[in-house]
Chains A and B, each alone.
Chain A
Amino acid sequence: MRKLIRSYTFRTVVQGLITIWAVMTFTFFLIRLMPGNPAQIKIDEYVDRYGMSEDQARQQVATLFNYDPDQPVFEQYVDYLSDLVRFDLGRSLTSTETPVAEQILRFLPWTLFSVGLALLVAFSLGVLVGLAMAYWRGGLLDNVMTVFASVIYAIPDYIIALLLIMVAGVQLKLIPVGELYGGSTQGIEPGFTVEYILDLLKHAFLPVFTYVLATIGGWMLTMKSSTISTLGEDYITVARARGLPERRLLTAYVGRNAMLPLMTRLAISIGFVVGGSAIIETLFLYPGLGRNLVLAIGLRDYTTMQGIFLVIAISVVVSNILADLLYGWLDPRVRLGGDKGTE
């Protein structure tokens, strides 16, 4: 038993659970501190839009909602927790009767697909280019790419998105931005058909391109500096002296060691894939979790927001654990039970 408690896996899992619980509790109370509540927002809407009287609207909303704003917050919290341990995320407050879990499952794939694809592209491309920049340091590629990466790194993603829409879409008419809104074109039957997959890629292009542009500069620059310091290591010179071909040198000796410091960063990025980017998805009307979160925040849809935050927290924690495992796999020095050296 003691051994279990002291074991690395056990400690990691417990730590993860505590983190998730803490984030969940924090967001639970935080979102209730926002001005307004879902019922009030709906009432205001009815009053504004349909010209109902305050009382009428209140009655209307009461029939729609199973949310009682007067219930003490702590009681709500206990209810929520007790549902949660039964893996019940509750129902959406605004589109009643839709379980939050179902909603999340509906939007999550879009985000996973677009942000995941972007991360994959940005990371692999960034690492490769960064490696090349450091290897041919001072060359044309290095000079051009350093400027490019520094500039692109400094621009926030939503500016890139706006620039894409304004310049490439509206001004130059290079990209039919209007056609590309949404996740897929209406009318095309979902399925494993070439047509549908191409359509998916087409619609994902703008957000993915934006994400890639927004993050690739960072990957390139960190990889470059990490590679430069790795190239200065003794074992690289020694491997050269052993007459290893440059290709082997560049992959197993330079590349692998230079990538180690990027792993923590990668883990954090993977964790945030699930959350997506609320602003980008909103700008491109992409039906992902981020956009859904923005909508939920606007409507003060507490349960949906909680559900999404919970999923984000879980994914960050899980990806951190995965990163540890990955790091251990890449760097034998941190593998458990190592360190037999005496010096």
Chain B
Amino acid sequence: MADGSVVLSVEDISITYTTQRGIVQAVSNVSFDLHAGETLALIGESGCGKSTIVLGLIGLLPKTGKITTGKVTYRRRDGRLIDVLGLNKEQMRQFLWNECSMVFQGALNSLNPVLKISSMIYDTARAHGMRADEAKKRALSLFEKVRLDPLRVFNSYPHELSGGMRQRVLLATALLLRPQVVIMDEPTTAVDILTQRSIIKVLKQLREELNFSVIFISHDLAVAAEIADTVATMYAGEIIEKGPVSEVFYRPRHAYTLGLLEAAPRLSTGAEELMSIPGSPPDLIDPPKGCKFHMRCRFVTDECKTTKPPLQASSPT
């Protein structure tokens, strides 16, 4: 971790799940650096391992999941480096939310139905030694920032809020303890278009004001195009392409990224010709040799079937 602006560095991480059918190689040798203030979008179809990576990062993998290789280094504000995978249970508990928080997909189910929003805030604050009055002040100001009626929302139960409001509450809560990294797992999937727009808008604004880094997970290329600085495409547990957003979108170098872009409908064009990628993603219990995409790839050569290609820097050509 030479670069001083890197807050989170993931090196060569692999994660498996043990199932009755066998061992699922859910994530294979994934590496990336997250810089201060950067938004990194992890895109890819469902089942490609996006959620598994982040659950591994924050130690919340289910019991069947296991990190087999890799190293995750986090740089605190004071410059100290933390070996995240080496943290014990209590250290990890404190690391969560203080340094790295998360917004999950299901806004409807992410809040305990029997507790008021205020209790959720106080619980979170107490777990990390923040005083109650300070927590309330901070929560109210964050609610204001995400354009909620602060006091009303603070004293509400989750079911009294609409889906969009709940998602904004979760976003605000993620920033309660001023973490450097916020992980968002499909935060705008399953919400309506106008709600999605308001969440994107709020997120952009907050990012500007509070300058945190974001790992943004989405299967929706359009949302990634809108807010990412860097894009990493995942396929069958691997990052197969990574680069600045304009590079990846305008000069994709991997056939899969190209395929995704060609399959994404756009509003601004007139009649358009879209193409789908033939076949479906491979079984991760018995992944294919060589490039995992080769069976679906239109540029396939014999070499692809045997040799796994390395990830090469995507430099402007």
Chains A, B in direct contact (C-beta < 8 Å)? yes
Instruction: Write the residues of chain A forming the contact surface with B, with a CB cutoff of 8 angstroms.
Output: 233-235, 237-245, 248, 252-253, 256-257, 260, 330-333, 338-343
Task: Give 1 or 0 for each of B100-120: 1 = CB within 8 Å of chain A CB.
Answer: 011010101111111110010
Question: If the complex has contacts A243-B128, A332-B157, are A257 and B123 also in contact, measured as CB distance less than 8 A?
Answer: no
Measured in the bound complex, the distance between the Cα atoms of B123 and A245 in whole Å is 9
Residues of A within 8 A of B106 (CB): 234
Measured in the bound complex, the distance between the Cα atoms of B128 and A339 in whole Å is 32
Q: Which of B6-14, B158-166, B244-252 touches A?
A: B158-166
Instruction: Write the residues of chain B forming the contact surface with A, with a CB cutoff of 8 angstroms.
Output: 58, 60, 93-98, 101-102, 104, 106, 108-116, 119, 123-124, 127-128, 157, 159-163, 170, 173
Residues of A within 8 A of B112 (CB): 235, 239, 252-253, 257
Residues of A within 8 A of B163 (CB): 341, 343
Smallest CB-CB A-B distances: 3 pairs: A234-B109, A243-B96, A332-B157
Measured in the bound complex, the distance between the Cα atoms of B119 and A221 in whole Å is 30
Quote the shortest CB–CB distance from B120 to chain A (angstroms): 8
* 25 A-B pairs with C-beta separation under 8 A: A234-B109, A234-B110, A238-B111, A238-B170, A239-B123, A241-B101, A241-B102, A242-B97, A242-B127, A243-B95, A243-B98, A243-B127, A248-B127, A257-B112, A257-B114, A331-B114, A332-B113, A332-B116, A332-B157, A339-B159, A341-B159, A341-B161, A341-B163, A342-B162, A343-B163
Q: In the bound complex, do residue B93 and residue A243 qualify as a contact, i.e. CB atoms below 8 Å apart?
A: yes
Q: Look across to chain B and name the residue whose beta carbon is closest to the beta carbon of A241.
A: B102
The A contact surface, by secondary structure, is helix
Cross-chain contact of B160 among A239, A248, A252, A341 (Cβ < 8 A) = A341
Measured in the bound complex, the distance between the Cα atoms of B106 and A341 in whole Å is 16
Quote the shortest CB–CB distance from A83 to chain B (angstroms): 46
Question: If the complex has contacts A238-B110, A333-B159, A338-B160, are A252 and B115 also in contact, measured as CB distance less than 8 A?
Answer: yes
Residues of B within 8 A of A342 (CB): 162
Residues of B within 8 A of A241 (CB): 58, 60, 96-97, 101-102, 104
Measured in the bound complex, the distance between the Cα atoms of B187 and A238 in whole Å is 13
Residues of A within 8 A of B159 (CB): 332-333, 338-339, 341
Q: In the bound complex, do residue B60 and residue A237 qualify as a contact, i.e. CB atoms below 8 Å apart?
A: yes
Quote the shortest CB–CB distance from B177 to chain A (angstroms): 9
Cross-chain contact of A237 among B104, B114, B124, B173 (Cβ < 8 A) = B104
Quote the shortest CB–CB distance from A327 to chain B (angstroms): 11
Q: In the bound complex, do residue B60 and residue A333 qualify as a contact, i.e. CB atoms below 8 Å apart?
A: no
Residues of A within 8 A of B170 (CB): 238
Q: Look across to chain B and name the residue whose beta carbon is closest to the beta carbon of A257.
A: B114
Measured in the bound complex, the distance between the Cα atoms of B98 and A234 in whole Å is 20
Cross-chain contact of B97 among A243, A248, A332, A338 (Cβ < 8 A) = A243
Quote the shortest CB–CB distance from B212 to chain A (angstroms): 16
Residues of B within 8 A of A343 (CB): 108, 162-163
Residues of A within 8 A of B58 (CB): 241
Measured in the bound complex, the distance between the Cα atoms of B104 and A242 in whole Å is 12
Measured in the bound complex, the distance between the Cα atoms of B159 and A331 in whole Å is 11
Residues of A within 8 A of B104 (CB): 234, 237-238, 241
Most chain B CB within 10 A, of A241, A331, A338, A339, is at A241
Residues of A within 8 A of B93 (CB): 243, 245
Residues of A within 8 A of B123 (CB): 239, 242, 244, 248, 252
Residues of B within 8 A of A341 (CB): 159-163
Q: In the bound complex, do residue A333 and residue B127 qualify as a contact, i.e. CB atoms below 8 Å apart?
A: no
Q: In the bound complex, do residue A243 and residue B94 qualify as a contact, i.e. CB atoms below 8 Å apart?
A: yes
Quote the shortest CB–CB distance from A250 to chain B (angstroms): 13
Additional A-B contacts beyond A245-B127, A256-B114, A331-B114 (16; CB < 8 A) = A234-B109, A241-B60, A241-B96, A241-B97, A242-B127, A243-B94, A243-B95, A245-B93, A248-B127, A260-B114, A331-B113, A332-B113, A332-B157, A332-B159, A338-B157, A343-B108
Residues of B within 8 A of A330 (CB): 114
Measured in the bound complex, the distance between the Cα atoms of B116 and A340 in whole Å is 15
Most chain B CB within 10 A, of A239, A242, A253, is at A242
Residues of A within 8 A of B102 (CB): 238, 241
Residues of B within 8 A of A238 (CB): 102, 104, 110-111, 170
Q: In the bound complex, do residue A235 and residue B101 qualify as a contact, i.e. CB atoms below 8 Å apart?
A: no
Residues of A within 8 A of B173 (CB): 242
Residues of A within 8 A of B116 (CB): 332
Q: In the bound complex, do residue A235 and residue B160 qualify as a contact, i.e. CB atoms below 8 Å apart?
A: no
Residues of A within 8 A of B101 (CB): 241-242
Residues of A within 8 A of B162 (CB): 341-343
Measured in the bound complex, the distance between the Cα atoms of B58 and A241 in whole Å is 7
Q: Look across to chain A and name the residue whose beta carbon is closest to the beta carbon of B170.
A: A238
Residues of A within 8 A of B95 (CB): 243
Quote the shortest CB–CB distance from B316 to chain A (angstroms): 38
Question: If the complex has contacts A242-B97, A338-B159, are A257 and B113 also in contact, measured as CB distance less than 8 A?
Answer: yes
Measured in the bound complex, the distance between the Cα atoms of B128 and A238 in whole Å is 15
Q: Look across to chain B and name the residue whose beta carbon is closest to the beta carbon of A253.
A: B112
Q: In the bound complex, do residue B109 and residue A332 qualify as a contact, i.e. CB atoms below 8 Å apart?
A: no
Q: Look across to chain A and name the residue whose beta carbon is closest to the beta carbon of B164.
A: A343
Measured in the bound complex, the distance between the Cα atoms of B158 and A233 in whole Å is 15
Q: In the bound complex, do residue B96 and residue A242 qualify as a contact, i.e. CB atoms below 8 Å apart?
A: yes
Q: In the bound complex, do residue A235 and residue B111 qualify as a contact, i.e. CB atoms below 8 Å apart?
A: yes
Most chain B CB within 10 A, of A233, A260, A332, A338, is at A332
Q: In the bound complex, do residue B127 and residue A235 qualify as a contact, i.e. CB atoms below 8 Å apart?
A: no
Quote the shortest CB–CB distance from A276 to chain B (angstroms): 33
Measured in the bound complex, the distance between the Cα atoms of B115 and A252 in whole Å is 8
Measured in the bound complex, the distance between the Cα atoms of B207 and A170 in whole Å is 77
Measured in the bound complex, the distance between the Cα atoms of B95 and A201 in whole Å is 51
Residues of A within 8 A of B97 (CB): 241-243
Q: Look across to chain B and name the residue whose beta carbon is closest to the beta carbon of A335.
A: B157
Measured in the bound complex, the distance between the Cα atoms of B109 and A239 in whole Å is 11
Measured in the bound complex, the distance between the Cα atoms of B112 and A248 in whole Å is 12
Measured in the bound complex, the distance between the Cα atoms of B116 and A333 in whole Å is 11
Q: In the bound complex, do residue A332 and residue B114 qualify as a contact, i.e. CB atoms below 8 Å apart?
A: yes
Quote the shortest CB–CB distance from B82 to chain A (angstroms): 15
